[in-house]
Amino acid sequence: MGISLDTVRKLREETLAGVLDCKKALIEAKGNIPEAKKILRRRGIKIAEKKSGEKTAQGVIASYVHHDRKVGVLVEIHSQSDFVARNTELQSFAKDVAMHIAAFDPQWISPEEIPISVLKEEKDILRDEAEKEGKPQHILEKIVEGRLRKFHARVCLLEQPFFRDDKKKVIDCLRELIVKVGENVKIDRFVRYKLREDHESTE
Segment 64-120, tens digit of pLDDT: 999 999 999 999 999 988 888 888 999 999 999 999 999 999 999 999 999 999 999
8 A C-beta contact, residue 27 and residue 13: no
Q: How far is CA 85 from the centre of its chain?
A: 18
- State in Å, rounded, how far the first CA of the chain is from the last one: 72
Residue spans of the domains in the chain: they are 5-51, 58-110+156-200, 115-154
Kindly indicate whether the domain formed by 58-110+156-200 is annotated with CATH number 3.30.479.20. yes
Kindly indicate whether the domain formed by 115-154 is annotated with CATH number 3.40.630. no
pTM: 0.72
Q: What distance in Å separates the CA atoms of residue 86 and residue 58, rounded to the nearest whole number?
A: 10
Between 74 and 132, whose confidence is greater?
Answer: 74
Q: Which helix (H) or strand (E) holds 187?
A: strand 185-194
Lowest mean pLDDT among 41-45, 49-53, 188-192: 49-53
Provide the pLDDT for residue 112: 94
Residue 186: pLDDT band with limits 50, 70, 90: very high
- Written out in words, the top-level CATH class of the domain with range 5-51 is mainly alpha
Is the Cα torsion angle 104, 92, 86, 54 positive or negative in sign?
A: positive
Q: What distance in Å separates the CA atoms of residue 128 and residue 135, rounded to the nearest whole number?
A: 10
